[in-house]
């Protein structure tokens, strides 16, 4: 015996179309909620006293919605073309449009909103989103459909308006500029982030160069943003552009790129020493040196760690290695300890300078070509790397790598190549990201509006 259970279902669509509601029923394992748009008081909406007349021929439009039931929910709108007489006696035709939903998309705003959130904010591929919708929610959505939603919303957003809203919300005083090459393209994308960790603006160009960087930064200056501090890597294109556009701004090299350059030389120093002792062991037939070379390769990542990072077992292994070694490992660990001391425990530029001189002594004693490159790098870029110790108020930014974190966001957006393939699509992704993440606005408000009746 069949049991009928009645329950109340409410949503933004049912609330805004109460006057047109006719009933609900199960059809093909779907919960259909039906609305007859002819029931609405169109005389009041269209502001006419003339009688509203309808064509006899009707049609239905189904719009999918997220379901809390065991089967999908579909809004079914009964539509027909209507007309009324104007004051001059001529007919005025119109087609009724439901409230809170667009019959052109055949999907509710909730579905479109979640799809864009998963694609842009969470970095889920379009194929996986379509799979989630079809398997979990039983909603027929395709990759091309989601792509159209993103492009439609993105085209309704203005880069200038978003930048103005961001600056009105919080006035930025810092500029962090970086660039990267998206997967699947040879084009370069320049990105500017501010001191609130927000992507302000992006610009795509053929390659990283000073002229395009100047035009890019000029947009920020023209929008009324006054930059007092700037951050970047050691690219000459960016450093020269920053000096030309914001000559008064204090420049600090991004700590991420400083550490990356030093790490590169440290990482190459161990293999150089390993090759030396291995060749010496083979030449002198010293098995002890051959064992040290083999053990050194296995422990290379532990030896490259900061002094405070290795665990108890790793420290014991390092101590044993230092006792067996000819003396280089102990010197190498001293060099790392002194580099950490310079960047983590220096309060003034004078202190950092004294520690840097001691680092040069340690490097000379180690007699390794790659370690000596660290000192040369610090000598060449000392002013840029240590600006936070020279200028008051920049101390809290010594660990800043916000420009690099901007790259991580963009790389997540282009995940698996199905997101960012062109400059237009890339701009759309970024504009939607800014709107959701920073402005907390409803992106479905920027869908193409329904034509005015």
pLDDT tens figures, 217-232: 888 888 888 888 888 8
- Where residue 249 falls (left for φ over 0; alpha for ψ -120 to 50; beta otherwise) is beta
Contact 175, 231 (CB under 8 A): yes
Tokens of 165: 């809203």
CA distance 366 to 204: 45
| Nearest Cα residue to 258 out of 229, 231, 234 | 234
How many residues are there in the chain? 453
User: Coil, strand or helix: which one is 442?
Assistant: coil
Residue keyed to tokens 């329904």: 450
Sorted by sequence, the CB contacts under 8 Å of residue 77 that are 6+ apart come out as: 20, 35, 37, 60, 61, 62, 63, 98, 103
Query: What torsion do the CA atoms of 15, 18, 21, 27 make, to the nearest 10 degrees?
Result: 10
User: Is the pLDDT at 397 greater than 60, yes or no?
Assistant: no
Predicted confidence (pLDDT) per residue in 63-98, tens digit: 999 887 778 899 999 999 999 998 888 999 998 888
Quote the tokens at residue 226: 């006054």
Q: In this predicted structure, what is the pLDDT of residue 70?
A: 77
Check whether 102 has a pLDDT greater than 90. Answer: no
Q: What is the pLDDT of residue 252?
A: 83
For residue 416, what pLDDT band results from cuts at 50, 70 and 90?
Answer: low
Gap between the Cα atoms of 213 and 219, Å rounded? 10
Q: What 3-state class would DSSP assign to 420?
A: coil
pLDDT single digits (tens) 3-17: 666 667 778 888 888
pLDDT-derived band at 266 (thresholds 50, 70, 90) equals very high
* 8 A C-beta contact, residue 218 and residue 181: no
The per-residue pLDDT for 412 is 67
The H or E element containing residue 35 is strand 30-36
Q: What is the pLDDT of residue 394?
A: 46
pLDDT exceeding 70 applies to what percent of the chain? 90
Q: How far apart are CA 399 and CA 401, in angstroms?
A: 6
**105 pLDDT higher than 60:** yes
Q: Exposed e or buried b for every residue in 176-192, given b needs 16+ CB within 10 A?
A: bbbbbebeebeebbbbb
pLDDT tens for 295-329 read 888 888 998 898 888 888 988 988 888 888 888 88
* Per-residue pLDDT tens over the stretch 156-165: 899 889 999 9
pLDDT over 90, % of the chain: 21
Looking at residue 354, what is its pLDDT? Answer: 92
Pick the residue with more confidence: 64 or 183?
64
d(Cα 185, Cα 420) in Å, to the nearest integer?
9
Domain chopping of the chain, boundaries: 12-94, 159-254+400-446, 255-397
**What is 159-254+400-446's CATH number, 3.40.50.300, 3.10.20.30, 3.30.420.10, 3.60.20.10?**
3.30.420.10
pLDDT for position 396: 47
The answer on pLDDT for 403 being more than 70 is no
Residues 120-138 have pLDDT tens digits of 888 888 888 999 998 888 8
Which residue, 446, 440, 419, is CA-closest to 109?
Answer: 446
Beta carbons within 8 Å of 140's beta carbon, 6+ residues apart: 64, 133, 134
Q: Of 155-164, 400-409, 444-453, which one has max mean pLDDT? A: 155-164
- The answer on pLDDT for 400 being more than 60 is no
Residues with Cβ within 8 Å of 341's Cβ and at least 6 positions away in sequence, in order, are: 355
27-36 mean pLDDT:
88
| Phi, psi (deg, nearest 5) at residue 289 | -65, -35
Per-residue pLDDT, averaged over 95-122, amounts to: 87
């Amino acid at each position: 015996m069949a049991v009928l259970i009645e329950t109340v279902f409410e949503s933004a669509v049912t609330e805004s179309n109460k006057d047109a509601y006719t009933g609900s029923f199960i059809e093909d394992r779907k919960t259909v909620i039906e609305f007859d748009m002819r029931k609405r008081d169109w005389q009041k909406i269209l502001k006419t006293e003339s009688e509203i007349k309808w064509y006899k021929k009707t049609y239905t439009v189904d719009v999918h919605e997220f379901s809390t039931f065991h089967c999908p929910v579909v809004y079914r709108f009964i539509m027909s073309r209507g007309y009324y007489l104007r004051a001059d006696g001529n007919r005025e035709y119109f087609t009724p449009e439901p409230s809170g939903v667009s019959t052109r998309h055949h999907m509710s705003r909730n579905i479109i909103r979640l799809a864009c959130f998963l694609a842009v904010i969470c970095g889920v591929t379009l194929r996986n989103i379509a799979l989630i919708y079809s398997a979990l929610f039983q909603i027929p959505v395709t990759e091309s459909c989601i792509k159209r939603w993103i492009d439609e919303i993105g085209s309704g957003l203005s880069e200038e308006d978003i930048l103005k809203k961001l600056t009105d919300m919080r006035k930025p005083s810092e500029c962090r500029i970086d660039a990267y090459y998206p997967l699947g393209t040879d084009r370069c994308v320049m990105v500017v982030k501010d001191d609130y960790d927000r992507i302000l603006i992006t610009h795509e160009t053929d390659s990283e160069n000073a002229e395009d960087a100047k035009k890019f930064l000029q947009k920020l200056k023209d929008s009324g943003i006054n930059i007092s501090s700037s951050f970047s890597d050691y690219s000459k294109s960016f450093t020269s552009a920053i000096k030309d556009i914001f000559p008064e701004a204090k420049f600090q090299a991004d700590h991420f790129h400083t550490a990356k350059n030093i790490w590169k030389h440290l990482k190459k120093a161990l293999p150089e020493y390993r090759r030396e002792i291995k060749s010496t062991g083979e030449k002198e037939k010293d098995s002890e040196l051959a064992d040290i070379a083999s053990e050194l390769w296995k422990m290379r990542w532990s030896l490259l760690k900061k002094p405070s990072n290795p665990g108890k077992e790793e420290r014991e292994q390092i101590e044993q290695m230092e006792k067996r070694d000819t003396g280089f490992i102990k010197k190498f660990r001293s060099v790392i300890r002194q580099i950490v001391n310079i960047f983590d425990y220096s309060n003034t530029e004078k202190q950092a300078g004294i520690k840097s001189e001691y680092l040069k002594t340690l490097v000379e004693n180690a007699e390794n070509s790659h370690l000596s490159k660290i000192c040369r790098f610090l000598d060449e870029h000392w002013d840029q790397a240590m600006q936070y110790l020279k200028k008051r108020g920049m101390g809290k930014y010594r660990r800043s790598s916000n420009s690099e974190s901007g790259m991580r966001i963009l790389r997540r957006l282009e995940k698996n190549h199905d997101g960012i393939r062109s400059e237009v699509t890339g701009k759309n992704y970024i504009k939607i990201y800014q709107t959701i993440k920073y402005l907390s606005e409803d992106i479905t408000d920027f869908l193409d509006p329904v034509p005015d009746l």
